[in-house]
């Protein structure tokens, strides 16, 4: 994994050890990614609504405000990642009919599920203004971030 990704992961892991709650851990994570990774123009968490597990609810994020504060798992790239239980990378959002627009500038997107004891609880969503911004290193990095958050959730139910 490129050094910048390893450093950010280490910082998130360090903060996780002292994080008072999930929201603070998520705030720390989106802040450091948005600040250190120039291609990550929008970074945010969506978590499944515990009262309605077919719906994702927007959590902490950095970037343009979005009207998509609640997304049914049947819709969007965000919903697809939950439905497929897998990371989804879209090289060109204009070519993907599932895409729900957040910012007119977004060109590519990656969505990575967060699992708690094997079950999907939410996801990390990253948008870029650059076409094909996300590759294997981003997938490995974000899946490691999702694993860190998932482990935290296993012992700190939200």
Positions that interact with ligand SME (CB under 6 A): 42, 66, 68, 71, 76-78, 99-100, 102, 109, 125, 127
Nearer to ligand SME, 27 or 109 (CB): 109
Nearer to ligand SME, 1 or 100 (CB): 100
Q: Is the dihedral of CA 113, 1, 5, 117 positive or negative?
A: positive
- Residue 70 phi, psi (nearest 5): -135, 125
Strands 52-62 and 70-72: antiparallel
- Of all residues in the shown chain, the one whose CB is closest to ligand SME is 76
Q: Where are the alpha helices (DSSP H) in the chain?
A: 3-16, 22-36, 76-84, 136-155
- Cβ 42 to ligand SME, closest distance in Å? 6
CB of 7 to ligand SME, least distance (A): 26
Question: Smaller CB distance to ligand SME: residue 19 or 128?
Answer: 128
User: Min. distance of Cβ 150 from ligand SME in angstroms?
Assistant: 20
CA distance 97 to 157: 35
């Amino acid at each position: 994994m490129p050094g910048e990704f390893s450093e950010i992961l280490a910082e998130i892991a360090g903060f996780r050890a002292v994080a008072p709650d999930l929201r603070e851990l998520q705030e720390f994570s989106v802040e450091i990614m948005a600040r250190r990774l120039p291609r990550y123009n929008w970074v945010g968490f969506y978590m499944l609504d515990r009262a309605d597990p077919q719906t994702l609810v927007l959590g902490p994020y950095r970037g343009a405000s979005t009207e998509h504060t609640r997304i049914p798992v049947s819709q969007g790239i965000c919903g697809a990642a939950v439905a497929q239980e897998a990371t989804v990378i879209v090289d060109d959002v204009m070519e993907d009919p599932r895409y729900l627009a957040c910012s007119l500038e977004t060109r590519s997107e990656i969505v990575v599920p967060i699992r708690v004891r094997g079950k999907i609880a939410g996801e990390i969503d990253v948008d870029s203004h650059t076409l094909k911004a996300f590759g294997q290193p981003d997938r490995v990095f974000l899946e490691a971030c999702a694993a860190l958050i998932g482990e935290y959730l296993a012992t700190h139910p939200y």
